[in-house]
Structure 1
Amino acid sequence: MRNACRKALVSTLSLLSLTCATAQATPVETAKAKAALKAIAACKPGAACAAHLPVKVVVVTLFEIGKDEGDAAGEFQLWKQRAGLSEKIAFPQGFHDLYYNPQTQVLGMVTGMGNIKSATATLALGLDQRVDVSKAYWLVAGIAGIDPAAGAVGSAAWARYVVDGDMAHEIDAREIPAKWKYGYFPIHGSTKVEDDPMGGTAPAPANGEMFALNPSLAQWAYGLTKDIKLPDDPSVAAQRATYTGYPLAQTPPKVMMGDQLAAMTYWHGEKLTQWGRDWVKYWTHGQGTFVTSAMEETGTFQSLEYLTRIGRADRNRAMVLRAGSNFTMPAPGVTPAENMARENAGYSGMTAALEALYAAGSKVVGELVTNWPRYEKAPPK
């Protein structure tokens, strides 16, 4: 199914214009960027550097399957090819070298999978004296599981909240008290046997349990991209059709708003999907809606929080865009174990999700670069 999806979408590649490739900086800005590239080449990574490479947007991807070009695409490959990220910058203190376009001043990175790698790579970039990301916008663009109650595979969701799914207490589900809904519950929730630990009000998220993004920026990005027609494929549509009883799962992919649950464990199934819904509601005090599941955002945002404190980044300029490559639970009649085994062989919606990320993400990047004099001063509202 994955291969059929990939072949059907290859013909769409030439139809998706590279918005940010034509939204170039001024000749003076480009000349300065090229001069900075030459100057920082003489600086050792991690050492003091008098030159500073100007960066308008950092595109944060989490993994690449193989090579950066010419083979099966992961999250980074489309950006490198279509956004003209041709200039390599050695980045040994991170997971993957950086790539840069001096005409647009867009920088692309691959953090590696999981919130530990995303946190360390983001912090390393922010502290790298060769680059200036103090006014840069950050676009996290990655694939995710998607709740079939919220949307369809191939859809892309802009988040207002990022919730951590790792910091918790746990009792084996076969041993939890009868009144408890889950054996996986908040560290600071009640642990009285007579109380459901998730039945109360969440405390203030003081340890990275939840990050609220700039809501105006998220809404602006959604407004800019909500009418984009995302690519679809018959094989993905056939898969969606099996999710009877989930009308939103059966609709064609679209750009939407939806919040992100980040956990290092790849979980799957109807019961854990309900846990994800409840967990996001709990930590956002009922304001958030669980839509996508992945691994990295809380690590990325923790580092951005720290970098903001020292003026090396601005966490109010950060966005999260996740596209569904698979559902977080199986269709009716299929067990979680069976469905996970199928997914381990390859996500049927992988190509559609990557195309959705680029279609929506490049629209936002292009707007920021094209009108940089406006957005350099303050985030859009």
Structure 2
Amino acid sequence: MRFPLLALLATGAAALAAPRSECLTPKVFIVSMFSPEDVWTAPLKLTHNVSLPGLSPLFPHVKCDKARDVCHVITGEGEINAAATISAVVLSDKFDLRKTYFLFAGIAGVNPHVATTGSVGLARYAVQVALAYELDARQMPSNWMTGYWIQGTKAPGTLDGANIYGTEVFELNTNLRDRVRALIPADIKLNDTAAAAAYRASYSYAPANAPPAVFYGDVATADVYFAGSLLAEAFGNITSLWTNNTGTYALSAQEDNASFEAMVRAHQAKRVDFSRVVLLRTASDFDRAPEGKNTYDEFTADQGGFDPAVQNIFVAGNYIVQGILGEWGAFKGGVKPQEGWLHDADVFHTLATKRAGLQRRGVERRRVGRGVPLVE
């Protein structure tokens, strides 16, 4: 009985030692957050299922095309689901993702001062705006404009003394963002509906009342589905704080910072390249009511933007997917990030190559003081 046992052990060891070249090596990996955003499976013929431990029980498979060039996963909604699913994907030995481009593509709320419903936004920053202290607005100091303020600080509007978790803001590769934007035709025809156009007309200013378009704008991440001009302005201010006034709050979503933290940790483990991440969000509803309208009534109203927003994920996003595939010779080696990549991905400068990150110079939860610049 010894020989068969030794043979079995040898076979198992050989399987464990199998080179990563035998793994799937997709060129593009698309990430959706919930089932309506899966506009990819049918048109791209994603018929090859890959089961992974750690995926959402609602979405237990990664789906790939016949050539295994394009794969797709649905994380499940919210930050916890996103972090768990993306961790499962990037740590799986069924994939070699070191040269894979990731397209995170979903719907979002929209700031009417930046864009309108049906529009397609490409982001530089994702900011975790609700990582803060909160007082019920009915009990906040009378001279405050919001009950949200950064943890470790004394009042809204400052980072002085802020506690750093490391997930507050992620910066993506803007050279890649510009490169994929060029893959989308300037005269692209985005889906729209009469209902969405009629609702947009209730705003007296552009771009809220204009037709949908492709634009650059940043994403505010929060599991709280917030609405109203006061909250939106407060989170817009927090976006500006964490990006040293270089970011513009345009879109609101739940999952992006959680997904990106998993990606950055996988980058450190040399399993992915975080400079190959694209964040695309389409606008499904406004984050504040038109002038003179009741916030709650407008928040619960059918604004007509959901369907075109879902459809436009594919309308714009497929140009990116097909462009990367069609120009793989140019994309294979990567797209060099912008000079002085502001955060080296995050506020810990985790991906810095020439200097130690904040987390390597001190404690994990570090306070930002006047003499400690958050960005360089």
Which band: TM-score by shorter chain?
0.7 to 0.9
**Alignment of 1:232 onto 2:203:** no
Equivalences for residues 81-230 of structure 1 within 5 A: 81-95=42-56, 96=59, 97-103=61-67, 105-189=69-153, 191=154, 196-199=155-158, 206-225=165-184, 227=186, 228-230=188-190
1:13-32 correspondence to structure 2 within 5 Å: none
Q: Are the equivalent residues in 1 in contact too, given 2:150–2:158 (CA < 8 A)? A: no
Q: Which of these residues, 292, 301, 317, is aligned with residue 361 of structure 1?
A: 317
Bigger proportion of residues as helix: 1
The corresponding residue for 2:326 is 370
Give the drift of 1:341.
2.5
Change (3 A) 1:226 1:314: same
Does the CA contact (< 8 Å) of 2:118 and 2:305 recur in 1?
yes
Where do 4+ consecutive residues of structure 1 move more than 4 Å? 200-206
Cα distance in 1 between the residues matched to 2:291 and 2:142: 27
Matched AA of 1:57: V
1:59 pairs, out of 30, 36, 48, with 30
Q: Identify unmatched segments of 5+ residues in structure 1.
A: 1-42, 65-73
CA contact (8 A) 1:57 1:137 kept: yes
Over the aligned positions, Cα root-mean-square deviation in angstroms equals 2.0
Q: How many corresponding residue pairs?
A: 317
Greater alpha carbon shift after TM alignment, 286-295 vs 48-57: 48-57
Structure 2 Cα separation of the partners of residues 340 and 202 of structure 1: 35
2:145 alignment partner, SS class = coil
Task: Percent identity, please.
Answer: 29
CA deviation after TM superposition for structure 1 residue 166, in Å: 2.5
> What residue number does 1:258 align with?
217
Report which of the two structures shows the higher radius of gyration computed on alpha carbons.
Answer: 2
1:162 Cα deviation from its structure 2 partner: 0.4
Q: For structure 2, which runs of at least 5 residues remain unmatched after alignment?
A: 1-11, 338-376
Partner Cα distance (1:225, 1:205) in 2? 37
Deviation at 1:364, TM superposition (A): 0.9
Distance in 2 of aligned mates of 1:226 and 1:212: 25
Kindly indicate whether the alpha-carbon contact (under 8 Å) linking 1:56 and 1:135 is maintained by their aligned counterparts in 2: yes
Q: Give the deviation of 1:49 after TM superposition.
A: 7.9
Structure 1 residues 315, 203: CA separation in 2 closer, same or farther (over 3 Å shift)? Answer: farther
More divergent stretch after superposition (152-161 vs 328-337): 328-337
Find the aligned partners of 1:202 and 1:356 in 2 and give their Cα distance: 42
Residue 312 (structure 1) aligned to one of 263, 267, 271: 271
Q: Which of residues 244, 249, 274 is equivalent to 1:290?
A: 249
- 1:165 Cα offset (Å): 2.0
When normalised by structure 1's length, the TM-score is 0.79
Structure 1 CA distance for aligned equivalents of residues 143 and 292 of structure 2: 28
